[in-house]
Structures are given as structure tokens and as C-alpha cells.
Amino acid sequence: MLRKLLGPQRRSLWFWLFTGPFVLGLLVFSYVPLLWSVGLSFFDARNTVTPTDFVGFANYATMLGDPAFLSSLATFVVFALFIVPTTYVLALVLALLVNRLTVARAFFRSVFFLPTACSYVAASLIWKMSLFNGVRFGLANTVLGWFGVEPVAWLASTQPPWYWLVIVTVRLWLQSGFYMVLLLAGLQRIPRPLYEAAAVDGASPGWQTFRYITFPQLRATSVAVVLLLVINAFQSFDEFYNLLASSRGYPPYGRPPLVYLYYVALGQGQELGVGSAGAVVLALLILIVTVVQARWFGLGRREA
């Protein structure tokens, strides 16, 4: 009896036994809410998730005509211009340094990757209340005080906008290690004979080797990393909300799309239909940007 239960003829049973809970959770907590949100976007849904008044594309027209939503998209552009190239360069530098190590490579790889396990909310609060506190007791202002610099209101709507430094540094600390691991895996896949052939041809082991061998061989990994960085920039929420929500109104370019949609759908008005329409528009934008970027960089294209 036990042999029949564990035999090869029961493989499909064991497959669904192990994957069934995951598939069920994916359906209940991801796909059903997604489809429900698409349905809500065509209804006048105020303070209810079971509306009856069908309004067609009126919610989409309202969202696309809202200057605040367009401003939130501009916030994404500014944030992406900051975070995408900075994270990629930092992750690549860390990957190159760790890859050159001959001892304790696993230790440093784990150390740089460890912040990925930290919550965005917890890290944002540490940055806000300890490192970049607006009073003189914050670590950043304490260090500046050693050089005679007056305390800086990091998260206030001032000129220059110092809050970008806080937002970008917390995101860098949280995600650089993850992309470092991806790039490190790409570096370790580069065949060693390429470097040996370059050395024989007289290429220097520094910039020339990196420019003509390392970086071109990292092309596929780099494209995937940049795609993930752009998608994550679209989905930024925790650091903006926890760092800037308590300030008197959001500073310029301080409210990305997800924060704006949060206030539309779950704020005082609870415009769930309009918020759902905005979520669908944002999802389509992410899809379009990802596809265009992938085609532009030739993701999946076979090398000649």
C-alpha cells in the first residue's frame, strides 16, 4: 500500500500536494484581487468593493486628467533617474570587489546581502529618526556639527531638496546587496580563458579588461538588473510614505504613484474605483516600459 502511494504513478498527486497551497495562495491573494481591481475600475466605487453603478471609462478619464497623478509619474521619473544608475554602479563595484577576493568571499557576500532581509519600513524609520533626524541629535547633523555646519532639516520642503539624499541612501542600502549577488553570479559565469587570451594579447588587467571582456559579458545580467530596478522604482512606496507622510504636505516630487493611489483609494474619499483605474494604468505603464526596455536592450537575443 505504501509503495503504491509513493510510487511513480502518484507523482502528480505529490506534485499538487506540495504546490497546491502555493497555487491557492497565489490565486486568493494575487490574481483574484487583481481581477477584482480591474472590475472596480469600471464602477463608481466609493466606500465599497461591491459597487453597482457602471461608469465605463470615466474613472480612467478622471485619473488621466488629474494633475496630481501626472505629478506622481514625474516623481517616479526623478526617482528612477537617481536610483537606477546609482544602484547599478554601486552593485557592480561591490560585485567586482567581492569577485576579486580569494579569502572570505562568502563572508563579504553575506554582509553586503544582509540588508536585503531588512524591512523597508524599519529601515526608513531608522533613517528618519536616527541617521537623518532634523534636530542636532541626528547622526548626520552631529557629524556636520563637528565641522561647524548648522543642523539640516533633511525631510523638510526646502531648497536644496535634501530629502532626496535620505530616500536614495536608504534604498541603496536596502537593495544594492541583492543586485550585487546577481552581478556576481554573472561575473562568475565569464570563462577564464577569455582573460588569459586577453593577457596574452597584451591587454592590461584593469580598465581594458573590464571594458572589452567583463562588461560585454555581463550584458544579459545587466539588462535584467536594470529592468528590475526600473520596476522597483515604479513600486516605491514604503520609504516615501514613512519618511515624508508626517511632514506638512508632501514636498515637490515627494509622492510617487503608489503613495498617490493609496491616498485616493484609502484616504478620506475612498475612491476605490478611481484608485483601481489608476492601478491599472500604472500596471500598463510598467508593462510598456518593461517591454520597450527589453526590446531596446535586446533581452533574450542570441549573441552572434
Q: What would the mean pLDDT of 169-190 be, rounded to a whole number?
A: 92
* Separation between Cα atoms, residue 102 and residue 183, nearest integer Å: 18
What is the reported pLDDT for 174? 94
Tens digit of each residue's pLDDT (9 = 90 or more) over 32-79: 988 998 999 999 888 887 888 888 899 999 999 989 898 898 888 889
| CATH assignment, 77-254 | 1.10.3720.10
Check whether 14 has a pLDDT greater than 80. Answer: no
Check whether 299 has a pLDDT greater than 80. Answer: no
The DSSP string of 119-178 is: -HHHHHHHIIIIIS-SSTTSHHHHHHHHTTPPP--TTSS-SS-THHHHHHHHHHHHHHHH
Closest by alpha carbon to 284, among 250, 257, 253, 248?
Answer: 257
Average pLDDT, the chain: 85
Q: What residue ranges do the domains of the chain occupy?
A: 77-254
What is the reported pLDDT for 8? 57
Which pLDDT band, with edges at 50, 70 and 90, does 304 fall under?
very low
Check whether 145 has a pLDDT greater than 50. Answer: yes
Which pLDDT band, with edges at 50, 70 and 90, does 9 fall under?
low
**Pairs from 74-82 (Cβ < 8 Å, separation ≥ 24):** 74/253, 75/253, 75/254, 75/255, 75/256, 75/257, 76/233, 76/234, 76/236, 76/256, 76/257, 78/164, 78/253, 79/167, 79/233, 79/236, 79/253, 79/256, 80/229, 80/230, 80/233, 80/234, 82/164, 82/168
pTM: 0.84
Tens digit of each residue's pLDDT (9 = 90 or more) over 207-245: 888 888 888 889 889 988 999 999 899 889 988 988 887
